[in-house]
Amino acid sequence: AGSTLGTVAYMSPEQVRGEDVDARTDIWSLGAVFYEMLSAKSPFAGDYEAAVIYSILNEHPAAINSLRPEVSPEIEAIISKCLEKEPTVRYHEIAQVISDLTIYKSGKTKAGSASTQSFREKIARPLFILPFIFFLLIVGYFLRVFIITVER
């Protein structure tokens, strides 16, 4: 009691409020990591923990392509859906995120500009993205097991 388990910057709104959490909380955290990887900024920043919590609960992150114009609208949409404050609007399971990333990678979405195309070639390779997603899922699983163990 009285302490925070986990890194506040990656906590979902429902986790911050102390509500029950499920896979959608992990998807939120994944969205926060993706946002930070692509923009080099945390989606919910603050100088102290309470400011970050306020930002998570009340503010929307800046559009990634306003920070990095080469990020495609499709990738931004996927990350935005991961970071939906309302869990019922967020992706419900990681398979949905992977499906949207796979569709994006296959090029079945709108054709991007030349700069978007080069960005797509850099990050959407299965040799990079799939092992990274797998790694994040494993880390999330072990963190969840650790948190459940600590709570008991």
CA atoms of 141 and 1, how far apart (whole Å)? 23
CA angle (65 as vertex; 60, 70 as ends), nearest 5? 160
Crossing angle between the packed helical segments 94-106 and 73-82, to the nearest 10 degrees = 180
* C-beta separation of 109 from 39 below 8 A: no
Distances (CA, A) of 114 to 18, 21, 34, 145, 149: 44, 40, 22, 43, 49
What is residue 1's predicted lDDT score, i.e. its pLDDT? 46
Looking at residue 77, its pLDDT comes to 94
> Mean pLDDT, 10 residues at a time, over the chain (152 residues)?
68 92 94 94 92 94 92 93 95 93 80 44 55 76 73 64
User: For position 113, what pLDDT does the model report?
Assistant: 38
The whole-number pLDDT of residue 127 equals 54
Look-up of token digits 């429902």: 14
The pLDDT of residue 93 is 93
